[in-house]
Amino acid sequence: MNILVHPNYFPNIHQFTKIIKASNILFEVSDNYQKQTFRNRTYIYGANGKLGLFIPVIHTHNNRELFRDIKISYDSDWMALHLKSLQSAYRSSPYFEYFEDDFIALYSKKEKFLVDFNIKCLQLILECLDININHSFTKKYTKNSLDTIDLRDFSIARKENNIELKKYIQVFGSKHGFISNLSILDLLFNEGNNSLNLIN
């Protein structure tokens, strides 16, 4: 299966499942950047329930700025905030301590472009789960994809597909109940390598 998909910020479990089951992945980076998408946001399970983590980006007055050209803003210390949020949310999860140093390293190096940082995030998850994928990047935008399954809609936050995934134990599940289809981080920190068994 060949898929066309955006490299989102720590993709949700549904999108990640499609990524690891694909034979080849074509990452869409040549379309116009759109706000209110998962390209610069992800959701984790915090002490008060579903918690959004947002990467601030530098907006220009050009409405046709390509995704690959979107730069990250460092006017606020969002990297420290995201790392602290992960530590607060998952410190007591079974597997967070095994991966914490990798995430500290991830949030200590600033990337200029959003696409580059998102790819680093995805690569880190794949390394944690010992997965290799074949991927390439679009050179130009095409409305209709040929020879690939078009999953670009997975990036639209308002169209999020709240599929029913197999339940697993979440840190704050006894307080707020099971929350489905969060960032792949939620599954990784709670289930470790068993994550693959759950999504396969």
Which residue segment(s) compose the domain that 115 sits in? 2-199
* Predicted confidence pLDDT, tens digits, the chain (200 residues): 899 999 999 999 999 999 999 999 999 999 999 888 999 999 999 999 999 999 999 987 777 899 999 999 999 999 999 999 999 999 999 999 999 999 999 999 999 999 999 999 999 999 999 999 999 999 999 988 778 899 999 898 765 555 667 899 999 999 999 999 999 999 999 999 999 998 87
For residue 61, the model assigns a pLDDT of 72
Which residues have CB under 8 Å from 189's CB, separation 6+? Answer: 86, 90, 93, 94, 95, 96, 99
Q: What is the pLDDT of residue 59?
A: 82
Q: Is the dihedral of CA 141, 146, 147, 151 positive or negative?
A: positive
Beta-sheet pairing, 2-5 with 149-150: parallel
151/162 Cα distance (integer angstroms): 15
Instruction: Supply the pLDDT for residue 164.
Output: 66
Q: For the CA atoms of 153, 158, 159, 163, what is the dihedral angle to 10 degrees?
A: 120
* Total count of domains within the chain: 1
Indicate the pairing of strand 71-72 with strand 57-58: antiparallel
Structure confidence by residue, pLDDT tens digits, 37-80:
999 999 999 999 999 999 999 987 777 899 999 999 999 999 99
What is the per-residue pLDDT for 166? Answer: 84
Q: What does the pLDDT read at residue 163?
A: 62
- Strands 41-46 and 24-27 come out as unpaired
The C-alpha atoms of residue 159 and residue 98 are separated, in whole angstroms, by 34
